Amino acid sequence: MQMIVSTRSRITRQRGAWTLRLAFLAVFAGLLAMSAWNLTRSSGLEDATRAYRLGDLETSLARALDHLDRRPWSRDAALLVARCYSRMDRSEQAEPYYTRAGRLELSDLQLRAYALARGPRPGQAVSAFNQILALAPDNLAAMRRLAAVELALDDKPALRALADRLEHTPGGAILGATLRGVLHHNEKNRELACQDFAKVLALDPELKEMPLPRVLFFSQYADDLAATGQLESARALLLKEVESHPDAMLWNAIGNTYLLQGKLEEAERPFKRALELNPASSGPLINLAKLELQRHKPELALGYLDRAKAIAPASYSVLYNLAVAYRQLGREKDANLVQETIKTLREDAPSDPLTTTWPAYAL
C-alpha cells in the first residue's frame, strides 16, 4: 500500500513539473511574439496603414517613414512607403523602398509598374510590366500599359509582338487590333491601318472595350481613309459619329474632306461648327483662313490667322499660311520675316523622338 501511495505521489509531482514547464514555455513564446511585434510593428505603423486605407497618402508616408527610422528592418513599413510614393507619382523615390520590401505581390507589381510608366523615365517600366507578364501571362491591363510605353519608345518590333500576343490572348483581340491600327497609322501604312480599324469596329461596334478616346480613334481612322482616297467613306464615318458625339476635332476633319475635294462652300460650315464647339482651337481658324486664301481674300484670311497665331504662335501651319496671306497682299517684307521665323523654329526643334507627346491614353 505504501508503495502505491509513493508511486502516485511521484506521478503527481512529475505532472506538476510538466505543467510548470508548459506554462513557462507558453509565457516564453508569448514574450517572443511580443518582442517580434515590437521589433516590426508600432502604433505609428498602424496609423500609417489606417491613413493609407483612407487615401491620406501624406500622413501615411510620414508615419511609415518615422517607423522605418526606428525600425529600419520593417518590411511592412518599407512597402507602405513605396506604395505611397508610387501613388504620389514619385516613382524614382519609391524604387529603393520596393527593394527593401523584398518579394512583391502581383498588386504591388502592378502599382510599381504603373507609377514607372507615368514617371519621368517610362522606359524603366518595360521590365516591370514584363515581370508581371511572366507571373500572369494573360494580364490584359499589363499588356495595355506596356503598349503605351512601347509607343513612347517607338519600339516597332516590340509593338508588333505585343499586338500578336494580345490578339491570341483571351479577351485581347480588340486591344490587339487597336494597337496594330495605331502602329500602322503612325508608320503611314494607311491601307493596313484602315483594315485594322475596320476590324476594331466589327469586333466592338459601340467601342466599349477599345482603349483609345473615341475622338482619337475616329480622327485616325478617317485620316487613313482620306489618305487612301476614300474621302466619301471618311466623311460618312465622321458624320455618323458626330450625330451622337459632337466634337470640334471631328467637325474640323469633316470640313477637311470637303476641302480636299475643292468644295469650299460645303467645307465652311463644318469648320465654323468646329470653331463654335471649341473657340480655343487653332485648327478650324487655320482651315477657314485656307478657304479665304483659295478665294483670294487675304484680308479675311489674315483675320483668322491673327486669331490662330494668338492661340498657337509657334505653329508651322499658322506661320506658313500667314506668309501666303502677306504675299497675296503684296507685303513681301512681312512674308520674309515670317519665313525667317519658320526657319529658326525648325533649327531649334528637338530631334529626340521621345520628346513627342507620350500616348498616355493607353494607361
Q: Does domain 42-103 have CATH number 3.30.460.10?
A: no
At 357 the pLDDT is: 39
In the chain, the amino acid numbered 196 is D
- pLDDT, greater one: 305 or 30: 305
At 9 the pLDDT is: 54
Q: Which of 267, 277, 201, 191 is nearest to 230 (CA)?
A: 191
C-alpha cell of residue 272:
465654323
In the chain, the amino acid numbered 123 is G
pLDDT for 22-47, tens place per residue? 554 454 444 434 444 444 456 788 99
Distance CA 48, CA 15 (A): 48
Distance CA 125, CA 129 (A): 6
Are 203 and 174 within 8 A, CB to CB? Answer: yes
* Relative orientation angle of helices 214-227 and 190-203, to the nearest 10 degrees: 140
Phi, psi of 284 (to 5 degrees): -60, -35
Distance CA 65, CA 363 (A): 30
DSSP type of residue 208: S
- pLDDT, greater one: 92 or 22: 92
Judged on CB neighbours under 10 Å (0-12, 13-18, 19+), 134 is exposed
Are 48 and 60 within 8 A, CB to CB? Answer: yes
DSSP type of residue 188: T
At 204 the pLDDT is: 97
Determine how many CB atoms are found less than 10 A away from the CB of residue 181.
27
Distance CA 50, CA 161 (A): 42
Judged on CB neighbours under 10 Å (0-12, 13-18, 19+), 186 is middle
304 has a pLDDT exceeding 60: yes
In the chain, the amino acid numbered 169 is T
Are 87 and 57 within 8 A, CB to CB? Answer: yes
72 has a pLDDT exceeding 50: yes
Distance CA 74, CA 269 (A): 66
3-state DSSP assignment of residue 45: helix
Mean pLDDT of the chain: 87
DSSP type of residue 230: -
pLDDT for 139-154, tens place per residue? 999 999 999 899 888 8
Show me where the domains of the chain are located.
42-103
SS (H, E, C) 252-265: HHHHHHHHHCCCHH
